Amino acid sequence: MEEFLMYKIVIDGTPVLFSDFLSEDDCASVIAEATGAARVVFIGTPCTPLLVKTIEELVFRDNYVVVRDNNDILSPRDKREREIKTCSEYVRKLTSSGTIVRSRETCLGCASLVREGEFKIEQTVVVTQLEVRTLLATMKALGVVYDGLDEDDAILEATRRERAGKSFTELLVQHLLVELPLFDWQNPERYESTKAALFAQFVATVHDLTYLS
């Protein structure tokens, strides 16, 4: 549990948990952190069997669960893509009417699936991935924004071949990520905890600039 807590930040009073749902431990950590919340919002987390298992447990515990994601697959080509499509359909049925799960073909940027400040509500916990694009969507959902955030998110969601140029956010975050240690598959904690801390620094910078402007 302590290992997971390194990947938690607070955005303007709301806890944000980072998880890729790669193991049963990820599920258990998120459930333990989110159980006491009135509302659990998943942003940009692909619908996988482990995510479904987590959501099922939260719903069973009477948490109000909302999912906003753009990783559905319209025309699955392999086993994993078929799995995501099946899980996406199930998540829509399992969660609240506020859930929106779309594909990147129909919704390039996850930030476009949330309104500014939509989930800045007391007793809310947000769960997302430790990625810049999902961080931007989470920031918007919690009311920490800047001009051009949606456009930056769409650029970051696009494949490298499709990108016309680098966004302000990408340039800024790349500058911050220079401080990251090399990723070690056998010991990823140092890299990921440092990345989460840099994300918190980025959010604080945007927050301060917003209030100063």
140 touches 154 (CB < 8 A):
no
| Cα gap 61→35, rounded to integer Å | 7
Mean pLDDT, range 188-212, rounded to an integer: 79
Give the contacts of 57 (CB within 8 A, at least 6 positions apart): 27, 31
| Cα gap 196→213, rounded to integer Å | 26
CA-nearest of 44, 63, 153 to 109 is 153
pLDDT band at 6 (very low <50, low <70, confident <90, very high): very low
Q: What is the predicted pLDDT for the residue at 174?
A: 61
Q: Is the pLDDT of residue 175 over 80?
A: no
7 touches 15 (CB < 8 A):
no
The model's pLDDT over 75-132, given as tens digits with 9 standing for 90+, comes to 999 999 999 999 999 999 999 999 999 998 888 789 999 999 999 999 999 999 998 8
The model's pLDDT over 59-70, given as tens digits with 9 standing for 90+, comes to 999 999 999 999
CA 20 to chain centroid: 9
C-alpha to C-alpha distances, 55 to 110, 116, 140, 192, nearest whole angstrom: 19, 24, 23, 24
* Residue 64, number of CB atoms within 10 A of its CB: 16
Q: Is the pLDDT of residue 1 over 80?
A: no
